[in-house]
Chain A
């Protein structure tokens, strides 16, 4: 029976590159998928695009593409990724530029747009799920709105012969479902097969999390070779049955236990895993070991796709200030607690615009070595104050106040750090799918 081999090239934007290069060179893949877009990544990318219209794609795109396109495999491994982020068109232009600089000929790069529904959302003034407000009430805080697209535009691009497909927001497992729909010609309403494809995608989308990453627990769950962790691939047949593997000579392991953990990762009701393409049902999935590092997964199911698409709304909500100072030796905890009291009083005296603040004491052995002691008191604590503020000035005040603890606070405080980061909150809404019109664009090198 015909089967397709798809590899996982990345589980997040900053993921390690070597496992993807290994898979492309030695994995005998037909496709590799780089999943690089977390919930708020696209909102931050949107801000970069506003500052520079040729930016707003994944910051690792250049590095990844240069490394991947420098490899020569025959036939070429086709690449699918959401590294387009907020600007798939610019990502495709940049990829073309890299390919041309490497002297590559005969390459078709597709860019998928249409997930950006900001103007649409504002016109129709939909409800925000988390807050119950109208979108218009978010006002100027709202910086991005991206609908989760399904596999269809990728399938269109593959049918048109694209070697590389760069999208923005597409449901993560749908990136993997697309080549299956293209290769096997599955009916888009064959819910069982679509559910199987989504299951394969769900297991692959976090890359190393299937092969022993995010798993090791010394004494209980040992994983060999984490420093050279390899990423998984799957062989999927036209019925939707999938067999997962990893390359010999790479670190990590693929077992029934690693697959069980990833099966339920970020899943709520396992019988209703909602994607734009199908509501997948993982509740009766069977997992079986074929041999070492080879696992078969079967019996996923599915029901009709939802009528609406989820939309992520990116909202700029001020700043997060994080200030820290350490106290060690006799009375470490008491001095940390005193410093917290001082900060509380200083913040309330200044009446700064803090939306939320938390104070905590951290610590094991960053300042003094671990030593067996009869005393139940910690030998060191690190005070951390973290606050969300509406304006930059208030955030700066918090950091400066922590810094002043050197000379104005309890005895022996050291190692102060402070950081301010913008807060990009994500809310959601649902949009009828008819209002969303994905479009495929091409860059072609002859």
Chain B
């Protein structure tokens, strides 16, 4: 299934850095998101878009992760030639990540 089934997201821009929050609809799924959404996974998903490092910040009390993606905005909104110069759509691109749920053992 897509990450979209478990979480919502919002993208913001600052200079050449995009941050995308990923927030679990059900806080019970937060540990799963932590396990699956490693910075490496995010960097792979945004290959050809994110040129620099991806950092992850954890906010367990609100069931959210914040991904800070460096070199993601073609030099930043003030210089970028991209149609979506702010990277507003990165939130929905993030939610396309394919999730495989761990099998339940009774």
Residue numbers of A with Cβ under 8 A of B are 39-40, 130, 214-215, 217, 220-221, 257, 260-271, 283-287, 317, 320, 356-358, 360, 362, 384, 386-388, 423-426, 428
Contact = CB atoms under 8 A, between A and B. Distances in A.
Given A260-B64, A284-B61, A267 B78 contact: no
B57 to A, nearest CB: 6
B23 A257 contact: yes
Given A220-B8, A257-B8, A257-B23, A268 B68 contact: yes
Contact of B59 (A40, A217, A261, A283): A283
Given A360-B83, A386-B81, A285 B62 contact: yes
A316 B87 CA distance: 23
Contacts of A267: 12, 19, 66
Interface in B37-83: 55, 57, 59, 61-62, 64, 66, 68, 75-79, 81-83
Given A214-B88, A220-B8, A268-B57, 19 more contacts: A39-B78, A130-B16, A221-B8, A261-B8, A261-B9, A264-B66, A265-B21, A266-B12, A268-B19, A268-B68, A270-B66, A271-B57, A284-B61, A286-B61, A286-B62, A317-B79, A320-B81, A356-B81, A425-B75
A384 B83 contact: yes
Interface residues of B, number: 32
Contacts of A261: 8-10, 21, 23
Contact of A214 (B4, B10, B25, B79): B10
Contacts of A285: 61-62
A39 B92 CA distance: 24
A287 to B, nearest CB: 6
29 contacts: A39-B78, A40-B77, A40-B78, A130-B16, A217-B92, A220-B4, A220-B8, A257-B23, A257-B25, A260-B64, A261-B8, A261-B9, A264-B10, A264-B21, A264-B23, A264-B66, A267-B12, A268-B66, A268-B68, A270-B66, A286-B61, A287-B62, A357-B81, A362-B83, A387-B81, A388-B81, A425-B75, A426-B76, A426-B78
Contacts, number: 93
A252 B25 CA distance: 19
A130 B13 contact: no
Most buried by A among B13, B59, B78: B78
A423 B23 contact: no
B57 A270 contact: yes
